[in-house]
Amino acid sequence: MKRSMVVVAGMLLVTPAAAQSLSDFMRDMIKHWNTPTEPFKVIDNIYYVGTDGLASYLVTTPQGHILIDTAMPEATGQIEGSIAKLGFKVADIKYIINTHAHIDHTGGLAQIKQESGAQMVAGAKDQPLLEGGYYPGREEEKHLMFPPVKVDRAVHEGDTIQLGGVTLTAHETPGHSPGCTSWTTTVKDGEATRSVIFFCSATVALNRLVGRSTYPGIIDDYKKTFAWSKTVHPDILLAPHPEMYDMAGKRAKIAAGAPNPFVKPGEFNAYLDKLETQFADGLAKQTAAAGAAK
């Protein structure tokens, strides 16, 4: 499943004959997304509380906690159980952040917001999607819908969340969704201070880039995100899908007693270079398909 998002992106232009294979693939993917995994400490005050296939992070502070993303709706209990297993309480969550408004990262937002009383924070251009519970450009596709959630704070570039000595800074990285938002912070690693990015995403996935595009300006948004990615150089890459940063491999190294493998300067930039190449390929294929259909 490590190449899952690449495969999804490559199956955008599905012919009717291939529709069943895509359906089978997505059923397998959802099963993977909902497979449980043990929660663990990533570094300092950042904990992984997601499933085996979808990431959710708990950033802890003495004054309460910040939850970044959830997973599919049916995995909400897993996330809450993982938080409890680590010794923390859902009731102590003060902020819930969503990186982007897709069902695989929003399914538990409404429930955890209700149970915790936390403020819901998301990119301004994703606010209508979260409050409507739909995928842009595919509003009638029920399998992509999720429980709507009220956004308490819509953020823009440079906005921050501050809690218990922790500061998270928002960065507009649109394309994957209109309000796709990445977040940066710092953590302690022994005597060192490390920079962290919770990257939103920049895969094409189910997005239509040409013709009746998923949303107006989507191509320019992707290009803006790729340009921005070249200006930041975090020490630690975290993202909404564990395979984006080889979580399984890094967990194995931690178990073997290696120095924290999540500290990997340059990993983010190398990964974004690959995504930019994949985006160009996806755009070319969709453009060619659109031309052939005329």
Residues in CB range of 87: below 8 A, 6 or more apart: none
More confident residue, 26 or 53: 53
Residue 76: pLDDT over 90:
yes
* pLDDT tens digits for range 262-271: 999 999 999 9
Computed from CA positions of residues 257, 263, 265, 267, in that sequence, does the dihedral angle turn out positive or negative?
Answer: positive
pLDDT tens for each residue of 202-261 = 999 999 999 999 999 999 999 999 999 999 999 999 999 999 999 999 999 999 999 999
pTM of the predicted structure, to 2 decimals? 0.92
Give 221-245 as a 3 state SS string.
HHHHHHHHHCCCCCCEEECCCHHHH
Q: Decide if pLDDT at 25 tops 90.
A: no
Strands 40-43 and 192-198: unpaired
Rounded Cα distance, 197 and 193, in Å = 13
pLDDT band per the 50, 70, 90 thresholds, residue 21: low
Confidence band of 291 (pLDDT split at 50, 70, 90): confident
At 233, which amino acid appears? Answer: H
Name the CATH superfamily, with its identifier, for domain 4-28+35-293: Ribonuclease Z/Hydroxyacylglutathione hydrolase-like (3.60.15.10)
Question: pLDDT grade, residue 23 (50/70/90)?
Answer: low
pLDDT per position as a tens digit, 103-153: 999 999 999 999 999 999 999 999 999 999 999 999 999 989 999 999 999
Q: What is the tens place of the pLDDT at every residue in 172-200?
A: 999 999 999 999 999 999 999 999 999 99
Q: Virtual CA dihedral for 160, 61, 126, 137, nearest 10 degrees?
A: 150
